[in-house]
Structure 1
């Protein structure tokens, strides 16, 4: 599988609103301040968004992006990071990239579909 095919497959799954959670990690440059990026879908004002959580050394920052604007962000993430663990409704995907963008793709189908939680605010216990 080529780098472009991998990005196309992931983008297609995300645009079909199949994403449950995702973690993008292992920055290519040690000087990169953002250590990890987490993605999760949510519904804001009746529109489907992807919440991006940037994990710095001691700080978390959040950004909500409309689904239509997300593919360009995904391209930028894979330029700067080497690993992704993505949970879709019916499968789990592990992607690793080499220095020359050679793709190692591992996919496991899940027996029962996962639930997507699109809520934005949590309930207090």
Structure 2
């Protein structure tokens, strides 16, 4: 795949936020983020970097359980799509650690093919 011609430079502004930072009655947080950003930040920022918005078990969203879902407390994929109509989007794909409650970890523990190399383990005696 050829590199994109659309690259960031010193003129670009990016909002970095958790998906649940803003709240309003009658809206989920991603809807509120979209409305607020469209009303107050359009023309000022080009891109919104949403910190992990996937279902998680701990670590402020960085212990991801399911990369294919949006945390229902934050919103839906439709909300993400709506944001993408007005702003460029960036996301964290947190592959360096994930929830022990994730399907991927369960498949690793079960020895399922394709998952055996996704996690590293050490003996309890190893001094980390």
TM above 0.5, yes or no, is no
Greater share of strand: 1
**What is the TM-score of this pair, normalised by structure 1?**
0.26
State which structure, 1 or 2, has the greater radius of gyration over its C-alpha atoms. Answer: 2
Q: Which has the higher contact order (CA 8 A, sep 6+)?
A: 1
Greater share of helix: 2
**What is the TM-score of this pair, normalised by structure 2?**
0.25
